[in-house]
C-alpha cells in the first residue's frame, strides 16, 4: 500500500465519520419527542376513577387503568360541534386507544352497570 493509498483511505474514513455525525445530529435535532410545533401547548386531561383520557399534541388518547371489565372511551367535541368517540379496545392491557383529531372539549367515560359514568366535559 502506498502512502497515497493510506491518505486516500484515511480521508475517506474521516469523510464517512463526518457524514455519520451529520446524520446523527440531524436526527437529534428533528422534532423533540412529543412536540409538534404546529399544534402548540394546548392539552386536556380528564379522569374517571383511574381511567383517563387526554388531548395532547393533536392526539386524543384514552386509557383503561382499572381492569374492571368496563369499556373505557373518550368522547370529544369537534369544532363543528359534532361528537366523536375513541375507545381503549384492549381494556387494561397496556396501550391506549388514540386518534389524531382537532377538538374543543373532551371527557372520558366507562360503560358500567349504572349506565355510562363520565367525567365532566373539559375544554
Ligand atoms: Ca373502569
Ligand atoms: Ca389499554
Instruction: Tell me the average pLDDT across 66-82.
Output: 96
DSSP at 86: E
pLDDT at 114 over 50: yes
Rg of the Cα atoms in the chain:
24
Instruction: Tell me the average pLDDT across 28-37.
Output: 42
CA 37 to ligand 2 center in whole angstroms:
28
pTM surpassing 0.85?
Answer: no
The 3-state DSSP class for residue 21 equals helix
CB 104 within 8 A of CB 115: no
Give the containing element (helix H, strand E) for 17.
Answer: helix 3-29
CA 51 to ligand 1 center in whole angstroms:
6
Which residues are within 8 A (CB) of 111 and not within 5 positions of it... i.e. 6 or more apart?
A: 70, 71, 72, 73
Amino acid at each position: 500500500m502506498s502512502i497515497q493509498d493510506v491518505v486516500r483511505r484515511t480521508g475517506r474514513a474521516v469523510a464517512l465519520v463526518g457524514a455519520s455525525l451529520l446524520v446523527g445530529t440531524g436526527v437529534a435535532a428533528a422534532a423533540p419527542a412529543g412536540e409538534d410545533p404546529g399544534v402548540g401547548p394546548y392539552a386536556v386531561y380528564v379522569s374517571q376513577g383511574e381511567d383517563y383520557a387526554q388531548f395532547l399534541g393533536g392526539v386524543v388518547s384514552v386509557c383503561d387503568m382499572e381492569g374492571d371489565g368496563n369499556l373505557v372511551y373518550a368522547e370529544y367535541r369537534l369544532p363543528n360541534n359534532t361528537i366523536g368517540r375513541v375507545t381503549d379496545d384492549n381494556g387494561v392491557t397496556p396501550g391506549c386507544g388514540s386518534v389524531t383529531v382537532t377538538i374543543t372539549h373532551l371527557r372520558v367515560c366507562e360503560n358500567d352497570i349504572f349506565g355510562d359514568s363520565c367525567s365532566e366535559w373539559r375544554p
